Amino acid sequence: MIHGWLPWTVQVIAAAALAAAVGWRSRWWRLVCVPSAGLVGVVAAGVFGWYINSTGMGDAAPLSLSIWIGFTVVAVVILAGGWRGTRWWRRVVCVLALPLCLLCAALAVNQSVGYLPTVQAAWGQATGAPVPDQADEATVASMQRAGVVPAHGAVEPVTSGDQASHFAHRTELVYLPPTWFATNPPPKLPTVMMIGGMFSTPADWIRAGDAITTLDNFAAAHGGNAPVVVFVDAGGSFNTHTFTTDTECVNGTAGNTADHLTKDVVPFMISKFGVSTNPANWGVVGWSMGGTCAIDLTVMHPDMFSAFIDIQGDLGPNVGTKAQTIARLYGRNADVWAAFDPTTVMIKHGRYSGVSGVFSSNPGEQAAAANSLCGVGSANGIECTVDVRPGKHDWPFAANAFATYLPWLAGQLGTPGSPTPQPPTIAHRSNRASPAASSS
């Protein structure tokens, strides 16, 4: 659904349906009605593009999305203005053109960010089908009591609670590597918190980012050892105040997301799955909004996390310009903005010890943000590397980055069977901000 024949076929059919809906009709229709519909569509596309950019969601909104939004509005005008006195078959075509244009708009977003790489993934998301390796709590408990190490890990849906945060969140997922089942009680394994982009669900790192395949492959190559991974919900339910699920993992108008991740999820993982309590054994990985969350959580809570992978994150939590972010995300409280701005946090904190991270980005604004953050982090004792490589701001990029840096992260967090931690190895062009970071 990202490449290939399906998106283009749907677009051709939608364009043909819209053209048939417009038709030739009367002179008045051709000279007045159709140009008016086109003008309304152009204005709608422009307003939509302006609004999306003003909210900081431009990365998820390609030009093709604005175009198809414009065509959707044209279809609405044509349907409403040309219904009377129109033959039945053209009415049918007009009705069909509208959802087809909306589908093309959705496909444009998906082609840009790669949330649903295949029809099977889309069907699984729509129907709530189990993710790879999924097992219920009773099955996981039975496997663990038996002490039989499975060939691959297990993914358990969990409810981590909201006692500390009161953050309304969806069911989250936990990956348990084969070695977790070897003893009772289980070994105190390292843990990785994984966060997706805005509009993500906890399953997106699995369905779109292929994280379970990456983790199972790593475990198979390391005697069944891998970190325990919790796929968290940083978006929650649709928020009527912000009209997005773009929480940026902060405590703000969209809810106490940061408190949920640090005060609900972390204690839950320790009590439920017996993972390590040592911050040296905890890391955060995120893509897009989640990448920003990864560094922010780590530098704000070095007493909880020691390593991060920031994949195509921003300079800091944002939903537009700085002024818009302070107004929309923090209720106009500039002090709260500063409390969650990673640059400000690092400078205020001063020297860190035992904290390291990787910034993985494609060229552009986010690469500049990565270099800036790594520069500030390096000046304050954080060992970091910036890896800039070609690619789009999409899930395939995120999946590749995670697969590339999981071995480094696992070693850094002290995963049993992992090689001695080494500085991240960069396969492509990199910019180093710390003498500790090396490239090859």
Distance separating alpha carbons of residues 384 and 436, to the nearest angstrom: 8
Alpha helices in 188-300 (DSSP H): 204-207, 211-221, 257-259, 266-273, 289-300
Q: What is the pLDDT of residues 142-191, one digit of tens each?
A: 998 888 899 999 999 999 999 999 999 999 999 999 999 999 999 999 99
The answer to whether 232 and 165 are in contact (CB under 8 A) is: no
Residues 140, 157: Cα–Cα separation, whole Å:
11
Q: What is the pLDDT of residues 205-245, one digit of tens each?
A: 999 999 999 999 999 999 999 999 999 999 986 443 433 46
pLDDT at 398 over 70: yes
Gap between the Cα atoms of 196 and 87, Å rounded:
48
Q: If pLDDT is split at 50, 70 and 90, which confidence band does 199 have? A: confident
Span 412-427, mean pLDDT? 74
Domain ranges of the chain: 5-113, 131-432
For residue 384, is pLDDT > 60? yes
Query: What is the residue-wise DSSP string for 372-402?
Result: HHHHHHHHTT-EEEEEE-S--SSHHHHHHHH
What is the C-alpha separation between 140 and 158, in angstroms, rounded?
12
| Complete DSSP assignment for 254-268 | TEEHHHIIIIIIHHH
User: pLDDT for 329-362, tens place per residue?
Assistant: 999 999 999 999 999 999 999 999 999 999 999 9
- Backbone φ and ψ for 272, nearest 5 degrees, come out as -80, -40
Give the SS3 label for residue 142: helix
Average pLDDT over residues 401-422: 90
**CA pair distance 438, 425, nearest whole angstrom:** 6
Which of the residue ranges 2-6, 324-328, 415-419, 435-439 would you say has the lowest mean pLDDT? 435-439
* pLDDT of res. 430: 42
pLDDT band of 437, cuts 50, 70, 90: very low
State the pairing for strand pair 356-361/251-252. Answer: unpaired
Residue type for position 317 = P
pLDDT given for residue 284 in this prediction = 98
420 Cβ contact list (under 8 Å, min separation 6): 411
The rounded radius of gyration (Å) of the Cα atoms in the chain is: 24
| CATH tag, 131-432 | 3.40.50.1820
Q: What is the pTM of this model?
A: 0.83
CA atoms within 13 A on the CB side of 111: 18
